Amino acid sequence: MRLICRVPVSRGRRSAARLLAVLLLTGTAACSTPAPQGSEDGQAPAGKASSRRQLAAAAKKWGLERPPLAAPPPPKEKLRPQTPESLDRGPDLIPVFARVPTTDKVVFLTVDDGAAKDHSFLEMVRELKVPMSAFLTDESAASDYGYFRDLHALGVPVQNHTLTHPQMTTLTADEQYDEVCGQQDVLEEEIGVRPWLFRPPFGDYDEDTLIVAEECGARAAPLWTEEAFPDRMEYGSDDAKFHPGDIILSHFNGPHTWGAPITEMLRLVLREVTAQGYALARLEDYV
Ligand SMILES: [Zn+2]
């Protein structure tokens, strides 16, 4: 892992201690995340049977014809996504990718921003053991970080999506730094984690974005291939199907934005994923 750090005096708000913290955190998996819940591996046969029964009952409760498929064991070593040529910003920057380089029939659910805080969604994630990741923007999430602490306690990693959701390419490097590092500090304070993934709002970024993201502790910048809504999946491929390693984007939205609760979005995701023979897996177990 390359450690980079630009001259600290060029940025007024950085202290030497902060700079040291950035150096120490860069390249380390500093986020303490509870164990994934998606796998039944390691359970005794009786435990597996009861777990399957519970999952079947939960599927019925949440209006699913079939329980979600369990993901295969994640790779022993983390994969190294490469920035595709269409997005290339130079070999020395952290990777930007919309699909994880795996051949497993897994896809990854990522939910952004943090506006709607629906407690039924927590219940659904817990009962159906849904692997997912949350990319939080302070401006949306701040009204109730307790909600996201509860989500994190269910095994959902919390990652960085800036303080105020700006279009990063319109900001100076210093402003971008404050957006990313500022949200690292907030999430450390509120959730107790220091994220290592950064998703730029709207998927827009430039070279400075990737440089500051790495300085703030991110080692990769995942984008997405699909976007999920309560009533439809927008596919990234012409064949309108999932492909191994696809990343699904959705949002903490609800009736105000969608005219439907977020649980309907999750139901649609689980239906489509399962119907195509895929399992949801946790992005952080792969990258
Ligand atoms: Zn967003």
Q: Please report where in the chains the tokens 């994880």 appear, as a residue.
A: 100
Which helix H or strand E contains 257, and what residues bound it? helix 255-258
Strands 279-281, 247-251: pairing is unpaired
d(CA 156, CA 154) in angstroms, rounded, equals 6
Exposed, middle or buried by CB within 10 Å (0-12, 13-18, 19+), for 180? buried
From the list 124, 121, 175, the residue with the least C-alpha distance to 144 is 121
C-alpha 201 – ligand 1 centre gap (Å): 5
Q: What is the pLDDT of residue 80?
A: 79
Q: Which residues fall within 8 angstroms of residue 208, CB to CB, at 6 or more apart?
A: 168, 172, 173, 176
C-alpha 249 – ligand 1 centre gap (Å): 9
Q: What is the pLDDT of residue 203?
A: 96
Phi and psi torsions of 83, nearest 5°: -70, 120
Q: What is the pLDDT of residue 33?
A: 45
Q: What is the pLDDT of residue 27?
A: 34
d(CA 145, CA 54) in angstroms, rounded, equals 29
CA torsion angle 92 95 96 102 (round to 10): 150
From the list 46, 97, 101, the residue with the least C-alpha distance to 219 is 97
d(CA 52, CA 45) in angstroms, rounded, equals 10
C-alpha 161 – ligand 1 centre gap (Å): 7
Strands 221-222, 96-97: pairing is parallel
In CATH, the architecture of 9-285 is: Alpha-Beta Barrel (3.20)
Can you give the pLDDT of all 287 residues of the chain as single tens digits? Answer: 333 333 333 333 333 333 333 333 333 333 344 444 444 444 566 788 888 999 999 999 999 999 999 999 999 888 878 777 666 566 689 999 999 999 999 999 999 999 999 999 999 999 999 999 999 999 999 999 999 999 999 999 999 999 999 999 999 999 999 999 999 999 999 999 999 999 999 999 999 999 999 999 999 999 999 999 999 999 999 999 999 999 999 999 999 999 999 999 999 999 999 999 999 999 999 99
Q: How far is CA 55 from CA 41, 65, 129, 230, 261, in A?
A: 15, 12, 8, 22, 22
C-alpha 225 – ligand 1 centre gap (Å): 15
Q: What is the pLDDT of residue 278?
A: 98
Q: What is the pLDDT of residue 78?
A: 84
d(CA 109, CA 32) in angstroms, rounded, equals 19
Domain ranges of the chain: 9-285
d(CA 150, CA 182) in angstroms, rounded, equals 22
C-alpha 164 – ligand 1 centre gap (Å): 9
C-alpha 6 – ligand 1 centre gap (Å): 27
C-alpha 21 – ligand 1 centre gap (Å): 27
Side-chain-side CA neighbours of 94 within 13 Å: the count stands at 29
